Amino acid sequence: MAKQQQSQRSQHDRPHDDSPNPKLADAAGEHEPSNAQKDPDQWVTGGESMTGAQASYLKTLSEEAGEPFDESLTKAEASKRIDALRERTGRGIDH
């Protein structure tokens, strides 16, 4: 019980960190864009094999578009292909 109280107390006694989140783009443009906005060619891991989630989504989009599925794409290539097929199929695009 004493350990639990000590743990709870130490969480509240820590100083609050008001530093900005580096992953969020600054309104004044002073920071790099977040990873969600970064060009796939700029991704550090963009040259690695696409993820399982990318492969699954890309396969679905490829089938819907009547396009071949290329399982050898990198993360960056898969991201670009997904964007292109989403435009073509209209899937996942807000209208």
- Please list the pLDDT of the chain residue by residue as tens digits (95 residues): 555 555 555 555 555 566 666 555 555 555 555 556 789 989 999 999 999 999 999 999 999 999 999 999 999 999 999 999 999 988 877 65
What pLDDT does 31 receive? 56
Q: For residue 49, what pLDDT is reported?
A: 95
Provide the 10 A C-beta neighbour count for residue 41: 11
Boundaries of every domain in the chain: 48-95
Give DSSP secondary structure letters for 14-74: SPP--PPPTTSPPTTS-SPPPTTTS-GGG-TTTTSBPPHHHHHHHHHHHHHHT----TT-B
Query: Which residues lie across from 49 on neighbouring strands?
Result: 74
Helix (H) or strand (E) holding 86: helix 75-89
pLDDT of residue 38: 86
